[in-house]
Amino acid sequence: MKMMKKAASVALASALVVSLAACGSNGGDGNSNSGSTGSDTFMIGGIGPTTGDNAIYGTAVKNGIQLAVDEINEAGGINGYQISYKFEDDQSDSEKSVNAYNTLKDWGMQMLVGTVTSTPCVAVVEETHVDNMFQFTPSATSVESVQYDNAFRMCFSDPSQGTVSADYIADNGLATKIGVIYDSSSTYSTGIYQNFAAEADVKGLEIVSAEAFTSDSNSDFNVQLQKAKDAGAELVFLPIYYQEASLILAQADRMGYAPKWFGVDGMDGILNLDGFDASLAEGVMFLTPFTPTADDEATQTFVANYEAEFGDTPIQFAADAYDCLYVIKAAAEKAGITPDMSVSDICDAMKTAMTEITVDGLTGKQITWGEDGEPSKEPTVVVIHDGAYTVM
């Protein structure tokens, strides 16, 4: 009886394998054998947490890449070659991430999209640097994540959000007198504030009040608001998360202070806060790489395809990952690389090409990269209007 069961399960398993393989070659358009050792396909690997605490991020990246790979293969691939794609789970753990990298190397990976979270990315970039493997992270924000010349990123780094915000405010003439309220007990908030202040100085914006709070005293903002008001701030910059921002908006409303409000990606989600009065956030602007409710055509198509494929609304991580593949495609076409080149040759060619291309993506328009791996892109700013996010 036991033997029978075993035999049955083996049979089932092999049937499954056969059917999967069939799927693969159908999807490959007959142009190549998907998953073969790879002299005629580009082998692209991905690493991120698909289980554990940050599973929602890793899964979004995995799906975002999948969607882009399918589209690119459908449209004829990169330089006429199809892409083979494999994603490994790292549970957002540095050690597991390095193991996942080695697994993918054994599989024959030529370029890495990942890792998703900052800490493992810092560990993996050490390995890719030694191997001279091209690495492109969709979402690792810490500065060290792309510290070597073989690594690039799609998202803004933490501190650069401050620079970009100041540029946006100055270039669009939103205000000249700025108040800032930031969390001095968070490196995220302080880092953004410092870069904001430096850039504001360059751009001729005047920071009339810069007031801090700490995580121990994050409920009373009357003083910070009063100071901003007395100093005549026309716009208050909030490089903080949405919980505190919701309190600030409520207290400002109560004291009859109505400046313009400008936040960063931490503001994303304020409308989902339980019981939050959306009218308080009317007119609040914030920097975000992507919002699924944006009404431009590219976003709408992406959201519709993603929902059809995975049954879920994409978050910014999915959009970053999707963009990564199209950037790789653009750079690969610029460099004219082919799958029979060595990993190191591909990396060297890509390194140069990355700094030469300009790409329009879901998470920004006219994106270019510097040798330091940091993207330079026009930020997308959304404004809250009638309780919904609207792209400006």
Partner 1 sequence: MSFISYLINGLSLGSVYAIIALGYTMVYGIAKMLNFAHGDVIMIGAYTALISMTQLGVPVLPAILIAVVVCTVLGVVIERIAYKPLRNASSSLAVLITAIGVSYLLQNIALLVFGANTQTFPSVVKWSGLSLAGGQLKISGVTIVTIAACIVIMIVLTLFVQKSKPGQAMRAVSEDRGAAQLMGINVNGTIALTFAIGSALAAVAGVLLCSAYPSLDPYTGAMPGIKAFVAAVFGGIGSISGAFVGGILLGVIEILGRAYISSQMADALVFAVLIIVLLVKPTGILGKKIQEKV
Contacts of 298 (CB under 8 A, 6+ apart): 360, 362
Q: How far is the CB of 19 from partner 1 (least distance, A)?
A: 42
Report the residue number, 247 or 391, with the smaller CB distance to partner 1.
247
Q: How far is the CB of 251 from partner 1 (least distance, A)?
A: 8
Q: How far is the CB of 256 from partner 1 (least distance, A)?
A: 5
Report the residue number, 96 or 229, with the smaller CB distance to partner 1.
229
Report the residue number, 172 or 184, with the smaller CB distance to partner 1.
184
The SS3 call for residue 7 is helix
Q: How far is the CB of 60 from partner 1 (least distance, A)?
A: 21
Report the residue number, 44 or 236, with the smaller CB distance to partner 1.
236
> Is residue 313 a contact partner of residue 292, using CB atoms and an 8 Å limit?
yes
Report the residue number, 22 or 255, with the smaller CB distance to partner 1.
255
Q: How far apart, in whole angstroms, are the C-alpha atoms of residue 265 and residue 242? A: 9
102 is written with which tokens? Answer: 């080695």
> Is residue 72 a contact partner of residue 78, using CB atoms and an 8 Å limit?
yes
Q: How far apart, in whole angstroms, are the C-alpha atoms of residue 155 and residue 375? A: 7
Q: How far is the CB of 270 from partner 1 (least distance, A)?
A: 10
Q: How far is the CB of 210 from partner 1 (least distance, A)?
A: 9
Q: How far apart, in whole angstroms, are the C-alpha atoms of residue 325 and residue 329? A: 6
> Is residue 233 a contact partner of residue 259, using CB atoms and an 8 Å limit?
yes
185 is written with which tokens? Answer: 């007990």
Residues contributing to the site for partner 1 (CB under 8 A): 184, 211-214, 216-217, 219-220, 222-224, 226-227, 230, 243, 246-247, 250-251, 254-256, 273-277
Q: How far apart, in whole angstroms, are the C-alpha atoms of residue 267 and residue 281? A: 11
Which residue, chain included where needed, has tokens 């990606």?
265
Which residue, chain included where needed, has tokens 């030469």?
356
Q: How far is the CB of 250 from partner 1 (least distance, A)?
A: 5
Report the residue number, 19 or 215, with the smaller CB distance to partner 1.
215
Q: At what angle do helices 94-107 and 118-131 cross, to 10 degrees?
A: 40
Report the residue number, 81 or 188, with the smaller CB distance to partner 1.
188
191 is written with which tokens? Answer: 């880092």
